[in-house]
């Protein structure tokens, strides 16, 4: 039996199809066709809880198809699950060069525009010919996917859905990469037992081509293919924690030989890929003692003891692997040695950041902590995580937690933190990204203490904070702030549908939780949200970002890591 696992915030309404065959995605069976499915279970939200309800089986006297009178009783999001399944099948067929098969999902009376803009209304065959011709302009399609940006019931019909759709096509044309984004309104409905398009509205196309291919995937060739056979066995009660945060990556010269090495944290023994200077890597983690073996998240290579080499701090989830808490691994030249330099750091360690916050000449360490995935918490104002930690370094391999004394009192569900001098006064300020709530900005007073000023300065970004970077994106000489959050159209739709009784201010705040990333421009020490102006908001379910000038044109570009899953299929990431 297939299962659909709700996401960590419960913003899912989906369909469970019991007793289905494994070939359903390529056989052409519709999502409500009883010839392939015996029963249907629908996930729906009720008072913010995800429950399952049984749907009456299809009528065998009617050719094994569903009865539309039953579908009319479902909620909009529940109906959308069937339409989404049909669009996924279209995408799969295009990717597997089965273009002829996509016509099944366009109703006989379908009407749509020409993609060259010459006609606003084409009948089904002419439209499909034009659609296939447009896609044939790609020599190779690497990825293709539909996304529903908005959904509502078509007026006058309980089972017709009016969608705003984004179709993204990534591939090659000749030697250049090509990325096309098509946006259009559409109407879908169940027709003869299958979800089908009835019409497409006018299509806007953003079709971009690179002059050359800048990046080629060479993971296996350079020795970076990771093997996870030695993963730690997980106690059943802790499995929910895996749906939250898992793993991190550091790129730095760990051994001081002049080239960049790679350190990867995970659940189990971490990877330490040493660069041989010729572009190949070998995992030496177990040999040099840097493997750790906890539930690793953040990591930081930093000079802590004044001996000239980089020590290693690894933030671990001690709720999952209590024998491996957050720790320091001291660099002894040839090996790393753990001696509990941070003391007994309990809880769910996530973020690590380093800076000389007290200006005494050595680097100190901030460690962010997350809440327990099994405990209840607010979706938008979670403040019940263990307090974050700020370890003051005395330079003699002794670090003590000075967070409270320094004025750091964050109990949000921290996922990231970064130091930077936003007010150009010579000392390091601290920005903390909190999941399920509001981020915090701590101004360094210059005397070893901090003041929380996020609301005062306009930096209190509300969202599922997962990452943050200081960057001078407008090149005016001060640090702007880029906050990485979750962008989820499904999440926004569910919130809109469920929160009609709440105040407009509350609804706007909760919709921001699924509204994407935020660019905060620094205007002389205060911050202004310019996300819409600079076009950096919609980056999917984002986890972190780095800025670099990939095309050597003098300005900073950004790379954003994103993805999450809602079912067993990898393509749902």
Asked if residue 5 belongs to a domain, the reply is no
User: Can you list the positions of beta strands (E) in 27-139?
Assistant: 39-46, 49-55, 106-112, 122-123
Angle at 42 between CA 38 and CA 46, to 5 degrees: 155
d(CA 280, CA 221) in angstroms, rounded, equals 8
Asked if residue 1 belongs to a domain, the reply is no
Which one of 193, 209, 225 terminates a domain?
A: 209
Please check whether residues 297 and 443 belong to one and the same domain.
yes
Please check whether residues 186 and 331 belong to one and the same domain.
no
- Which residues touch 180 (CB under 8 Å, ≥6 apart)? 168, 169, 205, 206, 207, 208
Q: How many domains does the chain have?
A: 2
Model pTM score = 0.78
What is the maximal distance between C-alpha atoms in the chain? 82
Please check whether residues 148 and 275 belong to one and the same domain.
no
Sequential pLDDT tens for the chain (573 residues): 222 222 232 222 333 333 222 222 222 333 333 233 333 333 333 333 333 344 444 444 444 344 444 555 566 766 777 788 788 888 888 887 777 788 889 999 999 999 987 877 899 999 999 999 999 999 989 888 888 888 888 766 667 889 999 999 999 898 888 999 999 999 998 887 788 999 999 999 999 988 666 777 889 899 987 655 444 455 545 555 555 556 889 999 999 999 999 999 988 899 999 999 998 999 999 999 999 988 899 999 999 999 999 999 999 999 888 899 999 999 999 899 987 778 778 899 999 999 999 999 999 999 999 998 778 888 788 999 999 999 999 888 889 999 999 999 999 999 999 999 999 999 999 999 999 999 999 999 999 999 999 999 999 999 999 999 999 999 999 999 999 998 877 666 656 655 555 556 666 777 788 889 999 999 999 999 999 999 898 888 899 999 999 888 888 999 999 887 654 444 443
Which CATH number fits the domain that encloses residue 261?
2.130.10
Closest CA to 436 of 12, 43, 10: 10
Domain range for 158: 76-96+123-209
d(CA 227, CA 230) in angstroms, rounded, equals 8
């Amino acid at each position: 039996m297939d299962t659909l696992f709700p996401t960590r915030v419960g913003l899912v309404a989906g369909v469970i199809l019991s007793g289905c065959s494994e070939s359903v995605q390529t056989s052409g069976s519709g999502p409500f066709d009883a010839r392939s499915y015996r029963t249907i279970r629908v996930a729906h939200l009720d008072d913010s809880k995800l429950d399952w309800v049984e749907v009456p089986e299809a009528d065998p006297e009617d050719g094994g198809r569903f009865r539309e009178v039953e579908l009319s009783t479902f909620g909009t999001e529940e109906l959308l699950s069937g339409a989404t399944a049909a669009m996924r099948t279209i995408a799969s067929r295009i990717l597997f060069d089965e273009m002829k098969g996509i016509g099944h999902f366009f109703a006989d009376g379908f009407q749509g525009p020409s993609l060259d803009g010459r006609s606003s209304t084409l009948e089904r065959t002419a439209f499909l010919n034009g659609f296939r011709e447009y896609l044939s302009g790609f020599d190779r399609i690497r990825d293709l996917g539909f996304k529903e940006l908005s959904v509502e019931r078509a007026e006058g019909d309980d089972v017709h859905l009016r969608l705003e759709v984004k179709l993204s096509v990534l591939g090659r044309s000749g030697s250049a990469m090509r990325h096309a984004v098509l946006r259009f309104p559409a109407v879908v409905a169940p027709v003869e037992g299958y979800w089908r398009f009835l019409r497409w509205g006018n299509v806007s196309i953003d079709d971009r081509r690179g002059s050359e291919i800048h990046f080629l995937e060479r993971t296996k060739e350079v020795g970076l293919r990771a093997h996870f056979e030695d993963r730690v066995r997980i106690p059943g009660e802790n499995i929910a924690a895996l749906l939250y945060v898992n793993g991190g990556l550091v790129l730095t010269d760990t051994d001081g030989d002049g080239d960049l090495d790679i350190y990867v944290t995970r659940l189990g023994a971490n990877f330490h890929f040493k660069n041989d200077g010729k572009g190949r890597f070998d995992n030496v983690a177990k040999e040099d003692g840097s493997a750790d073996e906890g539930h690793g998240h953040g990591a930081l290579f930093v000079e802590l003891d004044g001996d000239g080499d980089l020590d290693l701090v690894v933030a671990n989830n001690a709720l999952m692997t209590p024998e491996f808490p957050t720790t320091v691994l001291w660099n002894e030249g040839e090996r790393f040695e753990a001696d509990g330099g941070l003391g007994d750091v309990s809880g769910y360690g996530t973020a690590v950041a380093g800076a000389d916050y007290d200006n005494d000449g050595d680097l100190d360490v901030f460690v962010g902590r997350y809440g327990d995935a099994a405990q209840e918490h607010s979706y938008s104002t979670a403040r019940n995580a263990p307090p974050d930690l700020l370890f003051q370094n005395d330079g003699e391999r002794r670090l003590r937690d000075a967070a409270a004394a320094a004025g750091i009192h964050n109990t949000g569900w921290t996922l990231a933190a970064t130091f930077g001098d936003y007010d150009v006064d010579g000392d390091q300020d601290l920005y903390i990204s909190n999941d399920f709530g509001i981020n915090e900005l701590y101004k360094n007073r210059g005397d070893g203490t901090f003041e929380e000023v996020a609301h005062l300065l306009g930096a209190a970004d509300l969202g599922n904070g997962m990452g943050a970077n200081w960057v001078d994106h407008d090149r005016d000489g001060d640090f702007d702030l880029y906050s990485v959050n979750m962008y989820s159209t499904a999440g926004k739709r569910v919130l809109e549908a469920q929160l009609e009784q709440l105040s407009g201010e509350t609804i706007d705040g909760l919709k921001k939780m699924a509204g994407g990333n935020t660019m905060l421009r620094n205007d002389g020490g205060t911050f202004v949200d310019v996300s819409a102006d600079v076009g950096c908001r919609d980056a999917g379910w984002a986890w972190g970002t780095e800025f670099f000038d990939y095309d050597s044109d003098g300005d900073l570009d950004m790379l954003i890591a994103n993805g999450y899953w809602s079912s067993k299929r990898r393509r749902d990431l």
